[in-house]
């Protein structure tokens, strides 16, 4: 092989490398665009499988098999209701699937850190854990002292990022505060308020399109230690109990919210963004948990609120797939949990929304877990949009009101505005015999005095052609008041300029 052949081979290799590099750049740009679209508009659904407990691991069959980083196969065991109904396996696709050996830091970097970065730029976000009881939700959110969950890591990340961002950002975050709420038996309580013998339920209200909890205590956070103290205070106050499935079962939904304030200028008010990290109580069956009395009531409220949240997601998806004439009302107001999530689902300034689905691979929980995966698959198809309609909307834009229904697009017309319909003349309804006398109102008298003589004569000439004689009204004593009113209205419609032709 001579030098020219070597030169041609080198050129071909260089061209091939350049083509591969160009393809890689295009794929990276497409992936980045898709991630940005998903971050802003779609609900990100991630699956986290918890390890099986050691005594039961030997007897358990593999019910959930990870096919790839985004695909999961659910194979029903012979003891499940799904096996008796269909007996077929079900495949699901999600944003990402984390296996049993996934570390807490890896989960935080993939799910919660992008939400915090968006909040530091001024966009609110939501991260919540969802699943059946004893599936690892509380471990995912709170963790332990050796393996902290996404919530303690979020506090540490924000407090570490603030000093660095104050130097480079034009509008840095000036202060951080937190609220910690608990939804117990469909009542909202403050976990950061002083411990009282009888707690006071808080009111959830809508204030100019923003969902607010009236009376919630907002504690400032200046250091990481202060934030961890708030977490510990909330842990002591929240409701937990022992069941047959979980020795430390959460009996309420816990919502921890970080409020980030930015000072735009000395003369403008502060801009606020927030990140809510939610530990949902697990859905459960009383026959398996052995719940009775108060525990049964708690389970009923938990299951009802979770079911209502999933129904809201299903209705939002329905509204996106159907025309405005078939829109349904999204039942946000039927539970406190869905009410708090409303702003993140259909709000004006919503940011990323991440749903961490905790999966217990045990065959005993297969039916409940399969139902959870089906609801999560519906949530993954949801595309969130703005709620308000701008003055000039794009033809392809879609907007929703605060109840999640499509708003009708207003069309800008270039035609002249329609002539407003004039009100009925003032009529004295004091009946004397069979006569009804029409008297001018004080407003009409004042208007009559302000009009010039020429306009007055012109209006008189127009009205005299259509107005009947007053004597004719008295010639029909059996004429009803309705007919008289219709005749008076006919006078007004004949003269569409003013009321001066009327007596």
DSSP for 275-340?
EEEEEPPPB--HHHHT--THHHHHHHHHHHHHHHHHHHHHHHHHHHHS-GGG-----GGG-HHHHH
* Matching residue, tokens 């030997």: 58
Dihedral of CA 67/71/75/80: which sign?
Answer: positive
* Nearest in space to 386 (alpha carbons), one of 141, 123, 53: 123
Say how many C-beta atoms besides its own lie within 10 A of residue 165's C-beta: 16
**CB-based contacts of 198: which residues, under 8 Å, 6+ apart?**
none
Question: Does residue 304 have a known ligand-binding role?
Answer: no
The beta-strand segments (E) located in 396-480 are: none
Residues β-bridged to residue 394:
none
Question: Does residue 86 have a known ligand-binding role?
Answer: no
Cα separation, 477 vs 442, in Å, equals 29
Question: Does residue 445 have a known ligand-binding role?
Answer: no
Question: Does residue 131 have a known ligand-binding role?
Answer: yes
Pull the structure tokens for residue 8.
Answer: 């041609």
Question: Does residue 138 have a known ligand-binding role?
Answer: yes
Question: Does residue 303 have a known ligand-binding role?
Answer: no
Question: Does residue 105 have a known ligand-binding role?
Answer: no
Cα separation, 493 vs 497, in Å, equals 9
Dihedral of CA 199/205/207/210: which sign?
Answer: positive
Pull the structure tokens for residue 117.
Answer: 């970065």
Question: Does residue 143 have a known ligand-binding role?
Answer: no
Cα separation, 270 vs 218, in Å, equals 16
DSSP for 86-126?
T---EEEE-SEEE-TT--HHHHHHHHTHHHHHHHHTT-EEE
Cα separation, 292 vs 503, in Å, equals 79
Cβ-contact 384, 399 below 8 angstroms? no
Cα separation, 417 vs 75, in Å, equals 64
Q: What is the CA radius of gyration of the chain?
A: 33
In Å, what is the CA distance from 114 to each residue of 20, 35, 36, 44, 103? 29, 11, 11, 11, 17
Say how many C-beta atoms besides its own lie within 10 A of residue 357's C-beta: 29
Distance of CA 74 to the CA centre of its chain: 29
Binding site residues, as ranges?
A: 131-138
Binding site residues for ATP, as ranges?
A: 131-138
């Amino acid at each position: 092989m001579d030098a020219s052949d070597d030169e041609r081979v080198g050129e071909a290799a260089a061209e091939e490398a350049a083509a591969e590099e160009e393809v890689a750049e295009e794929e990276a740009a497409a992936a980045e665009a898709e991630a940005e679209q998903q971050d802003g508009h779609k609900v990100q659904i991630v699956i986290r499988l918890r390890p099986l407990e050691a005594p039961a691991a030997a007897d358990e069959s593999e019910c959930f098999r990870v096919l790839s980083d985004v695909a999961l196969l659910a194979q029903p065991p012979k003891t499940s209701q799904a096996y008796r109904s269909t007996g077929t396996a079900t495949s699901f696709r999600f944003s990402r699937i984390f296996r049993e050996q996934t570390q807490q830091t890896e989960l935080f970097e993939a799910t919660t850190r992008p939400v915090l970065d968006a909040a530091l730029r001024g966009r609110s976000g939501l991260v919540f854990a969802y699943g059946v009881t004893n599936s690892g939700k509380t471990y995912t959110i709170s963790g332990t002292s050796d393996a902290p969950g996404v919530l303690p890591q979020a506090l540490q990340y924000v407090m570490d990022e603030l000093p660095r961002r104050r130097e480079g950002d034009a509008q840095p975050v000036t202060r951080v505060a937190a609220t910690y709420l608990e939804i117990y038996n469909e009542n909202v309580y403050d976990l950061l308020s002083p411990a009282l013998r009888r707690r006071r339920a808080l009111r959830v209200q809508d204030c100019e399109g923003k969902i607010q909890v009236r009376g919630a205590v907002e504690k400032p956070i200046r250091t990481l230690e202060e934030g961890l103290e708030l977490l510990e205070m909330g842990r002591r106050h929240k409701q937990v109990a022992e069941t047959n499935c979980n020795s430390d079962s959460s009996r309420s939904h816990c919502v921890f919210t970080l409020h980030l304030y930015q000072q735009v200028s000395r003369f403008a008010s502060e801009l606020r963004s927030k990140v809510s990290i939610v530990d949902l109580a697990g859905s459960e069956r009383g026959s398996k948990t052995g719940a009775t009395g108060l525990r049964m009531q708690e389970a009923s409220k938990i299951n009802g609120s979770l079911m209502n949240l999933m129904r809201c997601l299903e209705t939002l998806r329905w509204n996106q797939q159907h025309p405005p004439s078939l829109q349904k009302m999204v039942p946000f107001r039927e539970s406190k949990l869905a009410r708090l999530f409303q702003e993140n689902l259909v709000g004006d300034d919503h940011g990323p929304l991440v749903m961490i689905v905790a999966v217990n691979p045990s065959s005993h929980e297969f039916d409940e877990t399969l139902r959870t995966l089906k609801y999560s698959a519906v949530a993954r198809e949801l595309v969130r949009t703005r709620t308000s309609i701008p003055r000039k909307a794009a033809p392809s834009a879609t907007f929703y009101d605060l109840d999640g229904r499509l708003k009708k697009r207003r069309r800008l017309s270039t035609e002249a505005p329609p002539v407003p319909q004039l009100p009925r003349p003032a009529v004295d309804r004091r009946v004397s015999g069979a006569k009804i006398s029409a008297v001018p109102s004080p407003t009409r008298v004042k208007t009559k005095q302000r009009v010039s003589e020429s306009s007055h004569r012109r209006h008189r000439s127009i009205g005299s052609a259509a107005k009947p004689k007053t004597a004719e009204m008295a010639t029909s004593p059996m004429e009803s008041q309705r007919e008289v009113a219709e005749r008076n209205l006919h006078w007004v419609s004949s003269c569409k300029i003013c009321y001066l032709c009327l007596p």
